[in-house]
Amino acid sequence: MTLDLLPIGQPARIVAVDWAALDQDETLRLRALGLDAGAKISVAHRGVFAGSDPLAVTVGRMTVALRRVHARAMQVEQLQP
Amino acid sequence: MSRRRRAALVGNPNAGKSALFNALTGARQKIANYPGVTVERKAGRLILPSGEPVELTDLPGSYSLHPTSPDEEVTRKVILGEFPGEPEPEVLVVVLDASNLEQHLVFAQEIIALGRPTVVALNMIDLAERDGLKLDPLALESALGVAVVPTVAVRRRGLTELADAIATAEAYRGEPVHPLTGLTERRLTAHAIADSAIVSETRRHRLHSKLDRVLLHPWIGPLILFGMLFVVFQAVFAGAAPLADGLTSLASRISDLVRGNFPAGLARDLVTDGIIAGVGSVVTFLPQIVILFFFILVLEATGYMARAAFLMDRLMAGVGLSGRSFIPLLSSFGCAIPGIMATRSISDPKDRLTTILVAPLMTCSARLPVYAVLISAFIPNRLVAGGIGLQGLVLFVLYVTGIVAAMVVAMLLRRSLTKGAASGFIMELPKYQLPTVKDIALGLYQRAWIFLRRAGTIIFTVTVVLWLLLNFPRAAPGQDQVDASIAGHLANGLAVVVKPIGFNRDIALALIPAMAAREVAVSSLATTYAVSGGDKDTSGLIAQLRHRWSLPTALAFLAWFVFAPQCMSTIAVTRRETNGWKWPGFMLAYLFALAYIFAGITYWSAVALGL
C-alpha cells in the first residue's frame, strides 16, 4: 500500500521509498523531515473540500504537509494501533 | 582582547530560534541582507556576564548542512566560514525544540561533529512539559559531549546560563567528538539519544492536534480561513482609514507651515509640492501596512500561517504554484512591497520568481483612490439585481480581474519562462503557540522601518525628479508651465501612443508622475484641471472628469490601472529581490502590454456598445 491510500489515523511504517520518482530537492527535504524508510507515521489530515491533496502526516512529534505525488512514492505497512 | 567575539544561532526551522535571538539581544538588532543574495541577515549584540559584548547572528533555519534552499545555503557557508566577508562564528549555539528532540538532534549532530566550540540550547522546555515530556539535560549533555542549557526564550528562562556557556565554550577547541555519519545513522543515533534523555513521557492529548482537527478540517477549515481573511481585510481598510487621513492632514499642515514661513519661490515649491507631498503620499500607506503585518505576524507566530498554506495549496497547485505563495499574494492586496518581500519563504526559486512577477496584479491599496474617484464620477450609484450596488459591483469586478489575470499569468509563466519541475509542497506544520507581545512589536517595528526606508528613499528621489521635469524649463510669461516643461513635451509624445486606447493628453500627462505611485494620478489630474477650473477638492475633480471624459475613456482608464505597473517602489523591490534588472524589466514590459491591450479592448468594446 502507498501512503496516499493509508486511512486517516492508521499507524504505519514506511518500508520503501521510490526516490527516483521525486526530484532531488524534494528527496532531501522529505528525508530531512524524517520521511524515510523505517519511519513510523500516520496520516492526520487529507485534502481540502472533497479533494485528497495535500496530506498532513504525523512523523515522530512533528506534522509534515506534503502532496499526494510524494505520498504515492512511499510504500507503507500498517501497524497495530 | 580587542577582537570582536562572534557567535551564531543554528537550528531547524520552528526551534524558537528567533524568539531566543530576540530574548538574548533585545532591541539591539541590525537587519540587512547577506551581500548578493536575498537572505535576511539578523545580527545583534549579546552581553556576556563579564560585560563583554558578543556579536550574535541568527542564521536561517536549516534541516542539514546539505542546502535545499538559498536560506540553507547561507547557513552552511557562514558556519563553514565560506561566506565572503562574513567571519566564521567562534561559538555555534544549536537551538533544539525540547519537544521534538529526535528530529532536531539529526542536524545538531552534524554541527557538533564539526568539532567547533558548541553550546546546545534546549529551548521551549515549558512546551515539552505541557506535552507531558520530562527531560534530563545532563543525560543529553553526556550523550552529545557539549554543554546543554535548558531555556524558555519567551519567559527569559536560562538566558544567563546560556550566556555563561557561550563564554566558556569559546576556550574549548577540540577534535570532532563524533565522526560525521550518514543521515540514516544520524537519525538512529538521534532516536537513541532522545530516548535516553526522556525521563518520562505521559501521552497527553496534545493541544495542537485538537486545534488541527478543526482548523484543517476539509470543510470547516477553509470556512474559518476565509472568515479570518474577511476580518483582516475589514481591519486593514476600515481601521487604517482614520489614521491615514490623519497623516494626510498632518502632511498638508506641515506644508502650510512651510508656505507660511518661507518666501515663495522654486525652492519652497520643491519642498511643499515635491518632497512633502511625495513622501507624505507614501507615509499614508503606513497604517495599512502596519495593520496588515500585525495580522500576518500574529498568524505566523501562532503557527496558523502554515495551516493557511496547507488549505490553499490545492488551489495554488492549479496554476503551478504551491501553498507557500498564498501569504505573499495575500499581503500584496495591501501593498506589493511587503508581498514581494514575503516571497523569501518560498524555497523553490522558480515558484518564488513567478509569485514575485504576479504579485503586482493583486489590487493593492494604492489603486483604491484612483478607482474611487473614477467610479464615483462615471458609475451611477444605483442598485442592480438582488440589491447589489452597481458601484460596489464594478469595484469587485476590478479586484476579480486582477486575481484572474494573476492566475492566468502564473499558469503561462510556469509553462514558459519559469518552467520547471512541478513545484512541490513539503513543509513542517509547527506547533501552535501563543505569540508574545514583545516579539510581535519588534517584528512590526522592523517591517515598518524597512518599508519607510526603502519606499521612502525611492519615492523621495522620484518625486524630486518628477518635480524637476514638471518645472523645467521655466515657462515664458503667458505660457502654461506644464506645457513648457519636459514632462509636458513627454506627455505630447505619450498622447500619440495612448490615443488608440481612448486616452487624451490630460491622461497622458497624469500617467507620467503616476509612475512614482498610482494614486498620484488622482492628484495630478486634479492639478491639471485646477489650472482651468480653480477647484481643488475631489467633488470638483469629479465634475471636471464627467465634463471632459467619455464613459469609454473612463472605463479604459480603470482597466489600465488593473494592470499598469506604475509603482517605482515595487520595481525597485523586485530588482533587489531578483538581483538585477532582467526581471523587473520583464515585469514592466508584460504589465504595460497587458494594460495597453485591456484598456484598448475596454475602450473599443464600450464604444461599439454605444456607451
Domain definitions of chain A by residue range: 3-78
What's the pLDDT tens digit per position in B550-583? 999 999 999 999 999 998 888 888 988 888 899 9
Q: Phi first, then psi: what are they for B329, rounded to 5°? A: -70, -35
A window 13-72, beta carbon within 8 A of B: 22-23, 25-26, 28-34, 36, 38, 44-51, 53-54, 56, 60-67, 69-70
Q: Which three cell numbers mark B505?
A: 493628453
Give B217's contacts in chain A (Cβ within 8 Å). Answer: 45
For residue B403, give Cα distances in angstroms to A67, B389, B411: 24, 21, 12
**Cell digits for B135?**
527531560
Who has greater pLDDT, B85 or B451? B85
The residue-averaged pLDDT of B2-20 equals 87
Give the integer Cα–Cα distance in Å for B506 and B516: 17
**Is the separation of the CB atoms in B287 and B451 below 8 Å?**
no
Is A81 in CB contact (< 8 Å) with chain B? no
Q: How much of chain B exceeds pLDDT 70, in percent?
A: 92
Tell me the per-residue pLDDT of B31-84, one tens digit each, with 9 for 90 and over.
777 776 667 788 999 999 888 999 999 999 999 998 888 788 899 999 999 999
Average pLDDT of B202-222? 85
- Topology of domain A3-78 in CATH is SH3 type barrels. (2.30.30)
Mean pLDDT of chain B: 86
Share of chain B above pLDDT 90, in %: 40
Cell output for B247: 497623516
The rounded distance, in Å, linking the Cα atoms of B547 and B224 is 47
pTM for this entry: 0.85
Contact B317 A53 (CB under 8 A): yes
Chain B: closest CA distance from residue A17 (Å): 14
Q: Is the pLDDT of residue B1 over 70?
A: no
Taking contacts as CB-CB distances below 8 angstroms, the residues of chain A near B216 are 44-45, 56
Q: B535 falls in which pLDDT band (50, 70, 90)?
A: very low
Per CB distance under 8 Å, which residues of B are interface residues toward A?
63-64, 66, 68, 99-100, 102-103, 106, 131, 183-184, 187, 208-209, 212, 216-219, 221-222, 306, 309-311, 313-314, 317, 323, 347-348, 421-422, 424-429
Contact residues on chain A for B422, CB-CB shorter than 8 A: 69
pLDDT band at B3 (very low <50, low <70, confident <90, very high): low
| Angstroms from A20 CA to nearest CA on chain B | 14
- For residues B528 and B518, the model is more confident at B518
| Count helices and strands in chain B by DSSP H and E runs | 28, 12
Q: What's the pLDDT score for residue B454?
A: 63
Per-residue pLDDT of B250-307, as tens digits, reads 888 888 888 888 887 778 878 877 777 767 766 777 887 788 789 888 988 899 989 9
pLDDT at B525 over 60: yes
Out of B187, B209, B424, closest to residue A70 by CB: B424
Enter the C-alpha cell of residue B123: 529551548
**3-class secondary-structure state, position B141:** helix
Would the ipTM clear 0.90, i.e. be above it? yes
The Cα of B306 is separated from the nearest Cα of chain A by a number of Å equal to: 9
Neighbouring-strand partners of residue A12: A41, A78
What are B106-164's pLDDT values in tens digits?
999 999 988 889 999 999 998 888 888 899 999 999 999 899 999 998 889 999 999 99
**Which residues of chain A neighbour B208 with C-beta distances below 8 Å?**
63
Select the residue of B217, B306, B314 nearest A51 (Cβ to Cβ): B314
